[in-house]
Amino acid sequence: MYARLVTVQIQQGKVDEANKIYQDSVMPAAQQQNGFKGGYLLSDPNTGKNVSIVLWETEDDMKASEKSGYLQEQIAKFAAVLAAPPTTEHFEVAVQM
């Protein structure tokens, strides 16, 4: 299994709005992607830092979701609440319980 982490800085006072976008729009879209295995949003309302962790069955599934434009479409949904450009990292899941 593989994980994509996207870290974003949300504008002050907009964390709840960003969380709602993730829950109501991003996660339903993710569930339609091949190889999607689950997702989490970690949020610090005091600093505005949010970290999205999305799990993928294979590395190819994860990369396909980027090449298809899916990832860019999801990030664009946050344009009105972002304070800085997002950063993206990829990991292989080493331990799962």
- Give residue 96's pLDDT: 87
Rounded alpha-carbon distances, angstroms, from residue 68 to 25, 46, 60, 73, 89: 18, 34, 12, 10, 18
Is 97 a domain residue? no
- Give residue 97's pLDDT: 85
Per residue in 25-39, pLDDT (tens digit) is 999 999 999 999 999
CATH number at residue 52: 3.30.70.100
Domain range for 88 = 2-92
* Mean pLDDT, the chain, integer: 95
pLDDT confidence tier of residue 74, bands split at 50, 70 and 90: very high
The β-bridge partners of 2 are 56, 92
For the segment 52-81, the average pLDDT, to the nearest whole number, is 95
Contact of 72 with 18, CB cutoff 8 Å: no
Per residue in 78-89, pLDDT (tens digit) is 999 999 999 999
Residue 38: how many other CB atoms lie within 10 Å: 13
